[in-house]
Amino acid sequence: MFDRWGRWVHRRRRWVLAAAGALLVFAGVWGTGVFGALSTSGGFETPGSESAEAARIAEQALGRDAADVVILYQGGTGVDDPSYRASVERSLAALPPGKVAGAATYWTTGAPQFVSEDRTSTYAVLELAGADEAARDASYQAVKDELDDVGGGLTAKVGGPVATAAAINDRVASDIPRAEAIAMPILLVLLVLIFGGLVAASLPLLVGGIAILGSFTALHALARLTDVSIFAVNISTFLGLGLAIDYGLFMVSRFREELRRDGTSIEDALAATMTTAGRTVAVSGVTVAV
């Protein structure tokens, strides 16, 4: 089977490359949308369990009571100064309508826990609008730029589960390209030294890039059916890159070895490579995927 596969690919190599290029473009456009589709918090509940049922009943009867965003205000002359209160309430009132379901502050609750011992710091608790995590994240994205606009000499620091989850999502999305930008040139230099040629050295890296984008596409599709942790991106990235380079070394080395045999054509070398190293890579890849 692998022999026939290798010969089929060689005879239709232009179509195979065109199809791979089209899939690569699709993965680069749609697959990278995975960063906004993964779960950055929760996902550890067991549907149908007693605790999940109790939480559902409590939310139905009492409404959702969650501190989605916590804003810490500091500075000024203290919470007892009317201008301090006016600045905080003005900033909260200026948030986009329909995005905040409720807000609790020291002045609305009278709870002393909202104020620091020196009475110069206080915080507000926001409940965002939205029936699920994705909707509440969308509400947070709509208001986040306004949260630190307080005025009156006050500074604001934003925290809470939804804000933290959004920060993790942004950090993961920015760190992965940076890590690849550092790793790829180093790997290319090492591969050039190993293979003695730029073309052969670039193939494992190319396969690594395809593997990463392909895993992003699979995760994006999976995330539309169930909750998938944001950390799946990190795992699939280093697994995809590492295994692709490892498998690429097998394939390229074996292909070059077969090509050096007297009287061996490129098609024969590719067929022999697929029959030997290709079979090993397929079995290993399926095992890792499972």
Query: Could you tell me if 15 and 87 lie in one domain?
Result: no
Query: Could you tell me if 88 and 129 lie in one domain?
Result: yes
To the nearest 10 degrees (0 to 180), the angle between helices 161-195 and 133-147 is 100
Query: Could you tell me if 180 and 101 lie in one domain?
Result: no
Mean pLDDT of 167-173: 79
User: Which of 45 and 81 is assigned the larger pLDDT?
Assistant: 81
What's the pLDDT at 14? Answer: 93
Among 184, 194, 282, CA closest to 242:
184
Query: Could you tell me if 37 and 174 lie in one domain?
Result: yes
Query: Could you tell me if 273 and 183 lie in one domain?
Result: yes
Q: Give the range among 5-19, 33-47, 81-95, 128-142 with minimum mean pLDDT.
A: 33-47
280 within some domain? yes
What's the pLDDT at 165? Answer: 82
What is the domain extent for residue 198? Answer: 2-43+166-289
Query: Could you tell me if 16 and 35 lie in one domain?
Result: yes
Query: Could you tell me if 142 and 221 lie in one domain?
Result: no
Q: How confident is the model at residue 42 (pLDDT cuts 50, 70, 90)?
A: low
User: Which of 48 and 25 is assigned the larger pLDDT?
Assistant: 25
What's the pLDDT at 41? Answer: 56
CA distances (Å), 115 to each of 71, 121, 199, 209, in order?
12, 6, 64, 51
Query: Could you tell me if 33 and 87 lie in one domain?
Result: no
Domain of 111, CATH number, reads: 3.30.70.1320
Please say which residue of 143, 159, 175 terminates a domain: 159
- The number of beta carbons lying within 10 Å of the beta carbon of residue 188 is 15
Please say which residue of 159, 193, 212 terminates a domain: 159
pLDDT in tens, 117-129: 888 899 999 888 8
Task: Say whether pLDDT at 12 is over 80.
Answer: yes
Please report which helix (H) or strand (E) contains residue 122, including its range.
Answer: strand 121-128
Task: Say whether pLDDT at 206 is over 70.
Answer: yes
Query: Could you tell me if 273 and 171 lie in one domain?
Result: yes
Task: Say whether pLDDT at 134 is over 80.
Answer: no
Q: At 101, give phi and psi (nearest 5°).
A: -80, -25
pLDDT in tens, 243-258: 888 888 888 889 888 8
What's the pLDDT at 37? Answer: 75
Query: Could you tell me if 176 and 285 lie in one domain?
Result: yes
What's the pLDDT at 169? Answer: 78
251 within some domain? yes
pLDDT in tens, 105-119: 888 888 889 999 888
What's the pLDDT at 64? Answer: 65
Q: Find tokens 């290319």 and name the residue.
A: 188
Please state, for a pLDDT cut of 70, what percent of the chain lies above it.
Answer: 97
The tally of domains found in the chain comes to 2
171 within some domain? yes
What's the pLDDT at 173? Answer: 73
201 Cβ contact list (under 8 Å, min separation 6)? 188, 191, 192, 194, 195
What's the pLDDT at 15? Answer: 94
54 within some domain? no
Please say which residue of 134, 159, 184 terminates a domain: 159
Mean pLDDT of 131-160: 83
Query: Could you tell me if 102 and 130 lie in one domain?
Result: yes
55 within some domain? no
Query: Could you tell me if 269 and 202 lie in one domain?
Result: yes
Task: Please give the mean pLDDT across all residues of the chain.
Answer: 84
Please report which helix (H) or strand (E) contains residue 154, including its range.
Answer: strand 154-159
Cβ pair 128, 69 in contact under 8 A: yes
